[in-house]
Amino acid sequence: MAAICAVNTGCTSTTQPTTGVDLSPSTDTIFEAQWITAVTSGVADWQLAHMEDFDGHIRTFQSRSRNPREWIQGAFLKGLADWSQQTNNIRYLNWLKHWGESQNYRLGDRLYHADDHVVGQYYLALYDYFGDPAMIEPTREAFDAILRRPSTVPLDYQTRGHDKGYSRQCLKRWCWADALFMSPPVWTEMSSILGVPDYFEFSNQEFWLTVDALFDRDEGLFLRDSRFLTQRESNGERVFWSRGNGWVFAGLTDIIETMPSGHRDRQRYIALYQTMARALVPLQDHRGFWPVSLKAGELYEVPETSGTAFFVAGLAWGIANDILSADRYLPAVKKGWRALNQSVAPDGMIGWVQQVGYSPDKVAVAGGEDEAARISANETQFYGAGAFLLAGSALIELNRQGIFER
């Protein structure tokens, strides 16, 4: 398991991983299969050992973090499913099977809320491996109910919600950037698995309405929700939240991978993905991290790993699938992977994860209050580990294809 000095200390020494693989800034050890497997599985194992023990590393939303069908855990379970499939790790797959069985493979309690759909991603992965229809039947039933009565509320985030579980009325649709990771990949893969075009066509329509509402075509980046249409950083730039864009970027890879290959809008998704990739690479800092506010890195110098991990995963996926040029994008992947490795503690915890929030400079706190975000080597969250596992999955694929050796 990798362990490196905390990134803000300026130290240069390293701690040897238990695999015995050497790591130093001048070597490419971390791009070898043995290392990628050791560090990624180490992060997975640490998180599996802390599913309910938060011990100071999770400050907010602790009760929701314990919910196995909420998005907070769901993003980790999705990452673990990808890592399990990529490495054919039956131990992790059996653990996920047990976890899913304990919930009867149900989505979250809110029928329309995208955050309550993300667990469907790991249910689909389990179905792909074990072939048990019970693993996806509750998801099918929920999606059929949505198709029978789709929400038509506006995508305006300002309007307060009236129904339980929907603090904003528009949360019954995909009116915030994060939703494009949580829900559309489930609809898309369900359509592919069951051969039901209606699932993808619904997702396709809703997805592009969200893009029209929140995507800044000049900058190639997403605003988090309609509240940010008029907000600016103190340097005059629009507020492009790193993790918010990370959700979208990582979600796009799953949509492109599982959508119908001959669909009329396939190239449209690829073009959006490529536009984001072009916008993201120049925003990476010299250490390999992406700042929490993508166009205001000088205002937010603290490292942040959840957004960085999503970007590394997304860029590496594009290279592996010949959608991005290795010559142009591999240096950013390598810098980002090195930064992520430097953020893993000796015990396997991925640090420097911004807590639950909706913007670069604020985190939401239970009870409705806000406080300045604190990001440190000692703080993590389930989605931070999940994003790291997605990055590890993409890196191991690059290794298998021999791309690091070119």
Residue 14's DSSP bridge partners are: 4
Query: Mean pLDDT, to the nearest integer, of 209-233?
Result: 98
pLDDT for residue 103:
98
Q: Which of 376, 377, 310, 357 is nearest to 82 (CA)?
A: 310
Residue boundaries of the structural domains of the chain:
3-405
Angle at 127 between CA 380 and CA 68, to 5 degrees: 35
Structure tokens given for 177: 């950037």
Query: Mean pLDDT, to the nearest integer, of 114-120?
Result: 98
Architecture of domain 3-405: Alpha/alpha barrel (1.50)
**pLDDT tens, residue by residue, 293-340:** 999 999 998 899 999 999 999 999 999 999 999 999 999 999 999 999
Q: How far apart are the C-alpha atoms of 156 and 148, rounded to whole Å?
A: 23
**How many C-beta neighbours within 10 Å does residue 13 have?**
7
Q: How far apart are the C-alpha atoms of 201 and 211, rounded to whole Å?
A: 15
Hey, which residues are catalytic here? Answer: 178
Query: Mean pLDDT, to the nearest integer, of 195-203?
Result: 97
Q: How confident is the model at residue 24 (pLDDT cuts 50, 70, 90)?
A: low
Say whether pTM exceeds 0.85: yes
Angle at 322 between CA 319 and CA 326, to 5 degrees: 40
Percent of the chain past pLDDT 70, that is, above it, reads 90
pLDDT for residue 380:
96
- With both helix axes pointing from N to C terminus, report the angle between 137-148 and 197-214 in degrees, rounded to the nearest 10: 70
Average pLDDT score over the chain: 91
| Long-range contacts of residues 275-279, Cβ cutoff 8 Å, at least 24 apart | 275/217, 275/220, 276/220, 276/221, 276/245, 276/248, 276/249, 276/252, 276/314, 277/249, 277/314, 277/315, 277/318, 277/324, 277/329, 278/220, 279/219, 279/220, 279/221
Strands 221-222 and 215-216: antiparallel
Q: Which of 358, 354, 353, 355 is nearest to 167 (CA)?
A: 358
CB 406 within 8 A of CB 326: yes
What residue type is assigned to position 290 of the chain? W
Q: How far apart are the C-alpha atoms of 303 and 175, rounded to whole Å?
A: 28
CA 61, 66, 71, 77 torsion: positive or negative?
Answer: positive
Query: Mean pLDDT, to the nearest integer, of 196-216?
Result: 98
Is the pLDDT reported for residue 6 higher than 90?
no
Is the pLDDT reported for residue 14 higher than 90?
no
Q: How far apart are the C-alpha atoms of 329 and 105, rounded to whole Å?
A: 38
**pLDDT tens, residue by residue, 56-98:** 899 889 999 999 999 999 999 999 999 999 999 999 999 999 9
Q: Of how many residues is the chain composed?
A: 406
Is the pLDDT reported for residue 124 higher than 50?
yes
Which range is least confidently modeled, 52-66, 178-192, 260-274? 52-66
pLDDT for residue 26:
56
